[in-house]
Chain A
Amino acid sequence: MIDTIYVENAVARHERAENMIRRFPDAAYVTCDRYQEVFNPKAQNFRLQKKKPALILAKKFGASVLPAPEGYGIGGEHNYYFSHMLNCIYDCRYCFLQGMYRSAHYVVFVNYEHFFDGMAEKLKIHAGEDVWFFSGYDCDSLALEPVTGFVRELLVWLRRHPRAQVELRTKSTQIRSLFESAPLPNVVIAYSLTPDLTAATLEHKAPSVQKRLAALTELAQRGWNVGLRFDPVLYELHYQDLYQRLFEDVFDRVPENRIHSVTLGPFRMPKPYFRNVTRLYPDEALFAGPFESRDKMISYSMDCEQQMMSFCYDQLLRYTAADKIYTCSPSSRQGVTNSQGQSDPIGRGDDRSI
């Protein structure tokens, strides 16, 4: 899978870097001073690099834990995110990463303690309160776990810091490392889900929805808190049938009492990222969809978005309690609110898919 490993000179002798390098004995090993020399140059094509992404091992400097965007959360008051890795091993066509980065290489920051220290600092700032940390904003939290071992170390840290609440966002079936530990009440394993057929068209190289559901069910049965992330919700002619079937399938298999939260989010992407992805994939039907430009974002028309969100919200209420459901953009919150005739039944948003 990995043909080239770039390593910053500063971490070339780091134990974690050495372990990762050992996993790919046939890869070309190339040293560099800073990962940006490899990751940031202009003359790169994300689509071509996706054919054979390299692994870049680097050291994270500066702020490692950042405030989550406004409205991002699943019920907590203090919300932050961190990225021990940049880019994802899957190739989902709607993903904003392909519009945000020039390179498709995977950057792994091997100084994990830097992230743990960053989280500890936030816990200190919010003394006595729970603090939420979201992993999986710039990567899939679990997909490269057999190589990085990040989550394994994170769980050890979380056991000692029960006020730290972590969401691990994923599509991966790499859950073995979670089974090495007893379930932690302060961790939510959140799976991104789209209807089977849509996933088959758009989520290249990702596990099928059925495989994700099997992993999700196993985690729930073993006592882990799980999250369901229907984000982005994508419009198509038969979206109602597709999402109805998906919800039925999910709630048929996943025990409701282990479901921590459910989020809904319409497709949305910052304009410059959208421009980049349509240049990369002008032949992609998704990007020729019925979009409009609103507040520096490309999204569905307000009407379309609200109809979709209302429909999905109503369907979800058949299976789970309203206080577990969160939506992601102010406009969609409003749509759901109107459909329910309540002031704000669904709480905070979650802007993950942008």
Chain B
Amino acid sequence: MTNLVVALQAEAGPIIEALDLVQDRPAGIFPVYCNGSLSLVVSGIGRTHCAAAVTHLFHRTAQSVDQAWLNIGIAGHQQAPIGSVLLASRITEHASGRSWYPPYVLDVKLLRSPLVTVDEPERHYPDCCAYDMEASGFYQIACRCSTGELVQSLKIISDNSGSDLDLTADQISLLIADQMSAIESTVGQLSDLSRVLDTVRPLPDLSSLYLKQWHFTVSQRHQLTALLSRLKARSGQLPAVPGTSVCQDASAVLTWLESKLSALPVNLSAPQGAEAADRVEQQP
């Protein structure tokens, strides 16, 4: 699941339309829109609302950890031209002075800039960075739901020194709509990145066949999962589940699996296709 968090309905409109999102019913305390692998929440203005909306979306969609989270919205900037798009390289909360540094592992060619989250609209742009009102709340809570590499904040510049701060909803929607390709590209890359972690999670059905046939204590369940994971890593496939005549109880199952594991020859010297592709020497 990739999660999008926006402050305003005017910001959400073009995204909902472009990504074919449908409002989730019954409505909760924040409007949520989904389409299977994507979900979007409209938080309202301010870092507190934004943090609450992240929590709401996380629970509402009953997610596992380490999913992708992207905060999208408009921001002011001292110098960047109106309509330009950037990713936050550092998020500083003006009120507390704390900073966070979203690790960047994407390949999107976007400007990257420090971002300051303020509690009141910033009209003077004192530093060469972007100003918004949500990102620090978003980042703090989203990082409890996922790893920092999958939590990013994308901002579209709506105002800078010398421009009018009071935009209409239509103007805001237009700014977002004009940058939908950058948004979709970032969403796509974050989704791909989160799938790397999906592949390393133990498959829930790996042990289900065993749990159906024998009673395992909690400790035995952990041992079972570990053994099945090791068997899968070593041989790429799992042995057929033994019959109850072969293994009378969970303890016998674990012994049987251990014997299967120790019978497997250890062969580390067999590069797979993907591994072989990795053999490009790193250059500084």
Please list the residues of chain A having a beta carbon within 8 angstroms of any beta carbon in chain B: 1, 3-4, 6, 28, 30-33, 37-38, 41-45, 47-49, 51-52, 54, 89-91, 103, 105, 143-147, 173-174, 195, 197-198, 200-202, 204-208, 211, 234-238, 242, 279-290
Contact = CB atoms under 8 A, between A and B. Distances in A.
A103 to B, nearest CB: 7
Contact of B105 (A51, A147, A173): A51
Interface string B193-211: 1001101101000000000
A145 B270 CA distance: 32
A164 B150 CA distance: 46
Given A234-B268, A236-B269, A103 B103 contact: yes
B232 A43 contact: no
A38 B151 contact: no
B101 A236 contact: no
B96 interface: no
B103 to A, nearest CB: 6
A3 B267 CA distance: 36
Contacts of B229: 282, 288
B82 to A, nearest CB: 21
List the 8 closest pairs (A to B, CB-CB), nearest first. A197-B269, A288-B230, A205-B282, A43-B143, A28-B112, A288-B233, A45-B147, A48-B149
Given A197-B269, A235-B266, A37 B147 contact: no
A1 B283 contact: yes
Main secondary structure of the interface of B (DSSP, over half): mixed
Contacts of B278: 91, 204-205
A43 B146 contact: yes
Contacts of B76: none
A206 B103 contact: no
Nearest to B264: A288
B262 A198 contact: no
B89 A4 contact: yes
Contacts of B105: 48-49, 51-52
B275 interface: yes
Contacts of B265: 237
Contacts of A47: 196-197, 200
A254 B32 CA distance: 66
B146 A237 contact: no
B78 interface: no
A79 to B, nearest CB: 29
B59 to A, nearest CB: 18
B276 interface: yes
B104 interface: yes
A1 B197 CA distance: 23
A242 B66 CA distance: 40
With most chain A CB atoms within 10 A of its CB, the pick from B90, B149, B261, B268 is B268
Given A6-B101, A47-B196, A143 B282 contact: yes
Given A1-B284, A49-B105, A207-B281, A32 B90 contact: yes
Interface size for chain B: under 10, 10 to 19, 20 to 34, or 35 or more residues?
Answer: 35 or more
Contacts of A236: 266-269
Given A143-B284, A204-B279, A237-B267, A285 B233 contact: yes
Interface string B227-250: 001111110000000000000000
Interface of B: 66, 89-90, 99-101, 103-106, 112-114, 143-144, 146-151, 193, 196-197, 199-200, 202, 229-234, 261-262, 265-271, 275-276, 278-284
Contact of A1 (B106, B279, B282): B282
Given A197-B269, A198-B268, A44 B103 contact: yes
B262 A290 contact: yes
A48 B101 contact: no
Contacts of B280: 205
Contacts of A207: 281
Contacts of A288: 229-231, 233-234, 261
Contacts of B143: 41-43
A200 B280 CA distance: 10
B151 to A, nearest CB: 7
Contacts of A42: 143
Nearest to A42: B143
A89 B148 contact: no
A37 B104 contact: no
Nearest to A242: B269
Nearest to B230: A288
18 contacts: A32-B99, A38-B101, A43-B146, A43-B148, A48-B149, A90-B282, A143-B284, A173-B281, A197-B270, A200-B271, A208-B279, A236-B267, A279-B200, A282-B233, A283-B199, A283-B232, A284-B233, A290-B266
Contact of B147 (A48, A197, A208, A238): A48
Nearest to B270: A201
A41 B143 CA distance: 10
A54 B99 contact: no
A152 to B, nearest CB: 14
A282 B284 contact: no
A23 to B, nearest CB: 9
Contact of A144 (B230, B281, B284): B284
A88 to B, nearest CB: 9
Contacts of B262: 290
